[in-house]
A and B are shown apart, each in its own frame.
Chain A
Amino acid sequence: MADDNELLLEVNDLRMYFPIQKGILRQTTGYVKAVDGVSLSIKKGETLGLVGESGCGKTTTGRCIVRVYQPTGGEIVFHDEGEIVDINRLTRQELKTFRRNMQMIFQDPFSSLNPRMTVLELVGEPLLAHGIARGQELEDRVAEMVRSVGLRVEHLPRYPHSFSGGQRQRIGIARALVQRPKLVVCDEPVSALDVSVQSQVVNLLQDLQSDLDLTYLFVAHDMSVVRQISNRIAVMYVGKLVEVAESEELLRDPKHPYSETLLSAVPRPNPHHHMQRLNLEGEPADPANAPPGCVFHPRCRYMEDICQTDVPALVELTPGHHVACHFADQLKLQGIDYARSPRA
Chain B
Amino acid sequence: MAHDSLLEIKNLMTHFHLHEGIVRAVDGVSFDVRRGQTLGIIGESGCGKSVTVHSILRLVPSPPGNIVDGQILLHRGGNGMDRVAVDLARLDPRGAEIRAIRGAEISMVFQEPMTSFGPMHTIGNQIIETILLHQEGVESSDARDLAIENLRRVGIPRAEQIVDAYPHQLSGGMRQRAMIAMALSCTPRLLIADEPTTALDVTIQAQILELLMALQEEVGMAVIFITHNLGVIAEVADEVAVMYLGRIVEQAGVNELFDNPQHPYTQGLLNSIPHIDEEKLPRLRAIEGVVPDPYEIPSGCAFSDRCPSFKPGTCDRAMPNLDETVSGHLVRCFLYSDVEEGLTEGENGG
Asked if A228 is at the interface of the complex by the 8 Å CB criterion, the answer is yes
A283 in contact with B286 (CB, 8 Å): no
Asked if B115 is at the interface of the complex by the 8 Å CB criterion, the answer is no
B232 in contact with A342 (CB, 8 Å): no
Contacts of B273 in A (CB 8 A): 195, 198-199, 224, 269
B269 in contact with A203 (CB, 8 Å): no
Q: Which chain A residues in 281-295 approach chain B with CB under 8 Å?
A: 283-284
B255 in contact with A224 (CB, 8 Å): no
A343 in contact with B258 (CB, 8 Å): no
Asked if B100 is at the interface of the complex by the 8 Å CB criterion, the answer is no
Contacts of B19 in A (CB 8 A): none
Residue of A with least CB distance to B255: A271
B173 in contact with A225 (CB, 8 Å): no
Contacts of A279 in B (CB 8 A): 206-207, 210
Tell me the minimal C-beta distance from A80 to chain B in angstroms.
30
Asked if B291 is at the interface of the complex by the 8 Å CB criterion, the answer is yes
With A196-B272, A223-B276, A283-B173 already in contact, the answer to whether A270 and B258 are too (CB < 8 A) is yes
Residue of A with least CB distance to B276: A224
CA distance in complex: A202, B273 (Å)? 10
Asked if B45 is at the interface of the complex by the 8 Å CB criterion, the answer is yes
Asked if B270 is at the interface of the complex by the 8 Å CB criterion, the answer is yes
Report which residue of A199, A277, A283 has the largest number of chain B beta carbons within 10 angstroms of its beta carbon.
A199
Per-residue interface assignment for chain A, residues 190 to 204, with 1 indicating a CB less than 8 Å from any chain B CB and 0 otherwise: 000011111110110
A262 in contact with B203 (CB, 8 Å): yes
Contacts of B287 in A (CB 8 A): 196, 199-200
Q: Which chain B residues in 268-286 approach chain A with CB under 8 Å?
A: 268-281, 283-286
B203 in contact with A199 (CB, 8 Å): no
B255 in contact with A197 (CB, 8 Å): no
Contacts of A248 in B (CB 8 A): 280
Give the interface size bracket for B toward A.
35 or more
Report which residue of B206, B255, B281 has the largest number of chain A beta carbons within 10 angstroms of its beta carbon.
B206
Residue of B with least CB distance to A201: B286
Point out the residue from A262, A277, A336 that lies within 8 Å of B277, measured CB to CB: A336
Tell me the minimal C-beta distance from B252 to chain A in angstroms.
11
**Interface size (A, Cβ < 8 Å)?**
50
Asked if B219 is at the interface of the complex by the 8 Å CB criterion, the answer is no
A343 in contact with B275 (CB, 8 Å): yes
Point out the residue from A225, A270, A271, A341 that lies within 8 Å of B279, measured CB to CB: A341
Residue of B with least CB distance to A269: B230
Asked if A241 is at the interface of the complex by the 8 Å CB criterion, the answer is no
Residue of B with least CB distance to A194: B44
Asked if B147 is at the interface of the complex by the 8 Å CB criterion, the answer is no
B44 in contact with A195 (CB, 8 Å): yes
Asked if A107 is at the interface of the complex by the 8 Å CB criterion, the answer is no
Per-residue interface assignment for chain A, residues 316 to 344, with 1 indicating a CB less than 8 Å from any chain B CB and 0 otherwise: 00000000000000000000111111110
Residue of A with least CB distance to B256: A271
B284 in contact with A228 (CB, 8 Å): yes
B201 in contact with A277 (CB, 8 Å): no
Report which residue of B203, B209, B287, B291 has the largest number of chain A beta carbons within 10 angstroms of its beta carbon.
B203
Q: Which chain A residues in 246-299 approach chain B with CB under 8 Å?
A: 248, 251, 261-273, 277, 279-280, 283-284
B277 in contact with A202 (CB, 8 Å): no
CA distance in complex: A267, B230 (Å)? 8
B268 in contact with A196 (CB, 8 Å): yes
Residue of A with least CB distance to B235: A267
CA distance in complex: A342, B277 (Å)? 9
B234 in contact with A199 (CB, 8 Å): no
A262 in contact with B202 (CB, 8 Å): yes
Residue of A with least CB distance to B172: A54
Asked if B76 is at the interface of the complex by the 8 Å CB criterion, the answer is no
Contacts of A166 in B (CB 8 A): 290
Tell me the minimal C-beta distance from B288 to chain A in angstroms.
8
Tell me the minimal C-beta distance from B189 to chain A in angstroms.
25
A164 in contact with B290 (CB, 8 Å): yes
With A200-B286, A279-B207 already in contact, the answer to whether A268 and B231 are too (CB < 8 A) is yes
Asked if A53 is at the interface of the complex by the 8 Å CB criterion, the answer is yes
Per-residue interface assignment for chain A, residues 205 to 228, with 1 indicating a CB less than 8 Å from any chain B CB and 0 otherwise: 010000000000000011111011
Q: Which chain B residues in 143-173 approach chain A with CB under 8 Å?
A: 171-173
Asked if B204 is at the interface of the complex by the 8 Å CB criterion, the answer is yes
With A199-B286, A223-B202 already in contact, the answer to whether A266 and B276 are too (CB < 8 A) is yes
A194 in contact with B45 (CB, 8 Å): yes
CA distance in complex: A279, B327 (Å)? 37
Contacts of A262 in B (CB 8 A): 202-203
Point out the residue from B201, B207, B210, B280 that lies within 8 Å of A53, measured CB to CB: B201
B206 in contact with A277 (CB, 8 Å): yes
Can you list 27 A-B contacts with CB-CB less than 8 angstroms, sorted by A residue number? Answer: A195-B44, A196-B269, A198-B273, A199-B274, A199-B285, A199-B286, A203-B284, A223-B202, A224-B275, A267-B205, A267-B209, A267-B232, A267-B234, A268-B235, A268-B277, A269-B234, A269-B275, A270-B234, A271-B255, A273-B277, A277-B206, A279-B206, A338-B277, A342-B278, A342-B281, A343-B271, A343-B275
Known A-B contacts: A53-B203, A196-B272, A269-B231. Give 5 more (CB < 8 A).
A280-B203, A280-B206, A284-B201, A342-B278, A342-B279
Give the interface of A toward B (CB within 8 A): 53-54, 164, 166-167, 194-200, 202-203, 206, 221-225, 227-228, 248, 251, 261-273, 277, 279-280, 283-284, 336-343
Q: Which 9 A-B pairs have the closest CB atoms?
A: A267-B231, A269-B230, A53-B201, A199-B284, A199-B286, A199-B272, A228-B274, A265-B206, A196-B287
